[in-house]
Amino acid sequence: MKRWLCLGLLCGLLAPLAAQQGWYPHEGGLLKYRVNIRFGEEPDTMPAGWKFGRVSAVATDKDGFVYVFHRGGKADPIVVFDAEGNYVRSWGRGMFGTPHGLRIDSNQQVWTTDVQHHTVMKFTREGEWRRTIGNQGKPGLDEYSFNRPADLAFGPDGSIYVADGYGNSRVVKYTPEGKYITSWGTPGTGESQFNTVHSVAVDSEGVVYVSDRENNRIQIFTSDGEYLREWNHLGATQNIFVTPEDELWVITHRNNIENLTYDTLAGRIMKIDRKTGEIQGAMESPGHWIHKTHDGLIFIGSLTGNVFRWYPGWLTEGLGADEALRPAN
């Protein structure tokens, strides 16, 4: 009797701890979405012979056009589709070494990071080059150099934050015009230290969320880099996205070993309370990049060579038996 009582007490003590750890069947509840697993390639509307390589990033603009950034040689690096997956335009052949991050700012300008060329580049939506920060092919640690930058984000005032990222271990902040303001971060495991700064996002209050991926945590800072707190229950976060409505979404993996071993497979989409870090919902998905639209769509860029388009919906009882409504597997 005492044995079972002790076990019961132990379970009672561990339950609150377990509730904070995440990674349960559907932590925070199941996000009820359905998926198109080959957006942009089914139906195939790209020029003949084109296909995606490893898709590193995806984003949408205010008009719903979808920008896919990928590493294949059979299509331009940036391919643009309408909301239904029809090819619209493309650009960038010969301009990138290893495509990595793509974001669209409030002025509808397209920004990219290139981990091989050590650069951040800015384009119009039509693909016209506007600016480069960094020295192509020359890694560095000064105010205008990077070492394999992974991601970038924009503050409410238009400030630019670069996750400089693989070779360096810092976040670099610039004015909207690209003038250096400050940077923070060194290699390590302590506060304001990083091991692979893989993603950065900023909310409407200017709070900066940084994926410290190989340390299995997200660190959170003021707009000028003052450490606030961290979340270590979300695993090895690949990418963070904050919507204009301040919803915070991540694509993540249980830990850095799982991430590297599975090569971004076996991941999880999670919706997070940005104030508390509470997981508000989750669902399984491979992926390297996440973007959520104003009308509720979730786009995932996957290194499997896919863009996943998740849309709200769930099979109700009996619906799954209707073959007319089921996609072919």
Q: What is the pLDDT of residue 322?
A: 47
The stretch 251-260 carries a mean pLDDT of 91
The stretch 220-232 carries a mean pLDDT of 98
pLDDT tens, residue by residue, 14-67: 444 444 556 677 888 999 999 999 999 998 999 999 999 999 999 999 999 999
Percent of the chain with pLDDT over 90: 83
User: 171: which 2 tokens?
Assistant: 């976040």
DSSP bridge pairs for 282: 30, 270
Q: What is the pLDDT of residue 13?
A: 41
For the domain bounded by 23-325, which CATH number is listed?
Answer: 2.120.10.30
The stretch 128-155 carries a mean pLDDT of 97
- Helix (H/G/I), strand (E/B), else coil: 2: helix
pTM: 0.90
Q: What is the DSSP string of 105-159?
A: -TT--EEEEETTTTEEEEE-TT--EEEEESBTTB---STT--SSEEEEEE-TT--
**Ranges of each domain in the chain:** 23-325
